[in-house]
Structure 1
Amino acid sequence: MPSMVSPRPLLTAATTVVALITLAPVSAAASPHGYRVVDLGTLSGGDGAATAMNDRGDIVGWSTVAGGARHAVLWRHGVITDLGVLPGDSDSAAVDVNEFGDVAITSFGSDYVTRAVLWRDGQLHDLGTLGGENSVAIGVNDRRQVLGTSEPVGDMPHRFLWRSGVFTDLGREYFYESTTDFNNAGDVVGGFNVPPQDYPCTCVGGRLRDGVLTQIGSEALGINNRGQVVGAANGRAYRWQNGTLTDLGTLGGDWSRATAINDRGDVVGQSSTTAAWHPFLWRNGVMTDLTTRGLVATDWIEDINIRGQLVGARGNRPVLFR
């Protein structure tokens, strides 16, 4: 059955919250344990990366097959499953997995057409579009909503929520904007071009809720189910909640950037030291350099679950840090 479009008010107001900026308190809480690195394995091509993980331990991402094409994959209980591509397409990549094991995927055609896909119970479901040719999946939550972007006919991409065959149009994703994450409440975070929309972009981070934008920092990259948002503001990692933006500090350098948060409020990202960029974990007011806990400086972390497990990539290999 073709997907239907349910209208929703477009972004009509930008509510700027002047955040109360606080420095992260020093805590006597126990520091993170040492992590063991687990290579998750790949398909026949040998390359891959893990992009997301749920609290049950299901991990998704992509891996190459013989010939170099990328396929969306699921790692569960140590077994890798090739989730495939839509008929006629060449590549795919999984971007998120919910607690039901539903996987959000983008499938890529050889003609550069992309489609948002939901993998559920062993089947790929093409979600369709808002009327144009393309759609892209960004996430899936525990309400079984899929967040993505798609362009209506003759228009720029719009953000959307999809559920059970029905699209809800969240409004335009303007040039230089981004859509990065959402939670079970349907709150969407990303980058937004706000008035006066000077060239090339008067861009800020923000949370979109019911068509209203709350500006948060310079960029907003992750949100959890408690409504806590992480990203960067003026070159420093932050965690935001209820109008208060907490500066998470750095590892001795001038810069840091938070990229993911779990439902306990633990934050991962990268920070400069006096010599290089290192991955970090921020917990209970303390930022820990993860190169002192079994990671190396070039490890890339994509996600953290409620257990504190991390997934990402080490070089061209998909890895779990547990």
Structure 2
Amino acid sequence: MTVKQQTEGNSNMTTYQSRKIIPVLLTALVLWVLPSWAVQAASDARQPAKFTQIDVPGAIFTVANGINPRGDIVGLYLDSSGSVHGFLLSKGKFTTIDVPGANFTVPTRISPAGGIIGLYRTSNGSTHGFLLSNGEFMTIQKTGTTFIVLSGINPEGDIVGEYRDSRDNVHSFLLSDGAFTPIVKPGATLTDVEAINPRGDIVGFYLDKSGNSHGLLLSRGKFTTIDVSGAAQTYGCFGINPEGDIVGVTIDGSGNDHGFLLSDGKFNTIDVPGAVSTDANDINPQDDIVGSYIDSSGNQHGFLLSK
């Protein structure tokens, strides 16, 4: 595989805070399938679903970050030596994703055509974005920055993410046709964007002046705050499919994470059975949801939730 470089010059932005980037990947993987009532509506009406646990044998932990319409899944794992790798799971086959020369590689999303985006870190400590397409890596970096995260990609190749400037300020952006456009939620002290769908709808989160986190939707130039009723705090929205269904994470009063699905104006809680913490990271057109959870022993696993 070869590595190309793409940079962009001038752009002004404001705000940001990275969501947790959890290191992980695989060489072999065990799938444990449980029929479960894993998705519970706010009204307590339950929906049957199939929960698939994803674990990398010998790994410290596993995380599933993104899923496309074909059901291809990308994510990461931490191996027993402490190295972080990316993975692609496609048609039951796992492929390791490592950017050549990188200290670690973290895939975040996969497009319908199979293009994979993410980030990698080099030996000098700088963090770069990457696009993997047709077996070729392209580095994506904004001129004057040493830290960039690519968080979401749609079928048109539009990418959303964040970068850190020379003063250590973080800014959210939309990268379209080679140009970086700033994304700033008015009145927020920080704006973070995580995913974009074919219509150009963007989801993420922001911090208000009190330091509280809220989910956000940016659609046709309009920002909408998304707060899940009953949650101590809505951590953020992390995935959106073509129909506009949104997945994300809330935090309860004990500080534990819970996934949620927002569809047709209704919130559904996503909790992996027996887990103390569940994060919902992405959703595809078939409403398949991927993410990660922490079990009662403190171990982290990836999961696929499908109907």
TM class by smaller structure? 0.5 to 0.7
Tell me if 1:317 matches 2:301.
yes
* Aligned counterpart for 1:102 among listed residues 115, 121, 124: 115
Q: Structure 1 residue 84 and structure 2 residue 91: aligned? A: no
Structure 2 counterpart of 1:63: 77
The change in CA–CA distance for 1:66 and 1:105 in structure 2 (over 3 A counts) is: same
Change (3 A) 1:163 1:81: farther
Per the TM alignment, residue 158 of structure 1 is displaced from its structure 2 partner at its CA by 3.8
Per-residue CA distance 1:222-247 (angstroms, 9 max, x = gap)? xxxxxxxxx32xxxx2xxxxxxxxxx
Take 2:120 and 2:67, find their aligned partners in 1: how far apart are those partners? 19
Shift in alpha-carbon separation, 1:152–1:96, aligned structure 2, 3 A: same
Counterpart AA for 2:283:
I
Match of 1:34 among 34, 42, 49: 49
Structure 1 residue aligned with 2:180, among 138, 160, 168?
168
Q: Provide the C-alpha distance between the structure 1 equivalents of 2:249 and 2:214, rounded to a whole number of angstroms.
A: 20
Three-state SS of the structure 1 residue aligned to 2:50 is coil
TM-score, structure 2 normalization: 0.68
Aligned match of 1:307? 286
2:160/2:194 contact within 8 Å kept: no
Q: CA deviation at 1:68?
A: 1.3
1:95 deviates by 1.0
2:137 to 124, 128, 136: 124
Q: How many residues align?
A: 267
With normalisation by structure 1, the TM-score equals 0.65
Q: Is the 8 A contact 2:213 2:235 kept in 1?
A: no
Q: Per-residue deviation at 1:148?
A: 2.3
The equivalences for 1:1-322 within 5 A come to 3=6, 5=8, 32-39=47-54, 41-42=55-56, 45-87=59-101, 89-151=102-164, 156-162=169-175, 166-170=178-182, 176-191=190-205, 206=216, 214-217=222-225, 231-232=226-227, 237=228, 249=229, 259=237, 260-269=239-248, 279-281=259-261, 283-284=263-264, 287-288=267-268, 290=270, 295-298=273-276, 299-315=278-294, 316-322=300-306
8 A contact 2:60–2:79 mirrored in 1: yes
Unaligned residue ranges in structure 2 (runs of 5+): 15-40, 295-299
- Structure 1, unpaired ranges of 5+: 12-23, 218-230, 238-248
CA-CA distance at 1:181 after TM superposition? 2.5
Task: Give the residue type in structure 1 aligned to 2:94.
Answer: I
Deviations 1:296-315 (A, max 9, x none): 44333222222222211233
Work out which of the two has the higher radius of gyration on C-alpha atoms and give 1 or 2: 1
Question: Using the alignment, how far apart are the partners of 2:181 and 2:95 within structure 1?
Answer: 32
Alignment CA distance shift 1:305-1:31 (3 Å)? farther
Task: Measure the CA separation in 1 of the matches of 2:196 and 2:141.
Answer: 20
* Secondary structure in 2 matching 1:177: strand
Distance 1:311 1:203, change over 3 A: closer
CA-to-aligned-CA distance 1:111-160 (integer Å, 9 cap, x gap): 33100101111222111223322322111111112222234556744433
Q: Give me the identity figure in percent.
A: 20
Q: Read off the aligned partner of 1:321 and give its amino acid letter.
A: L
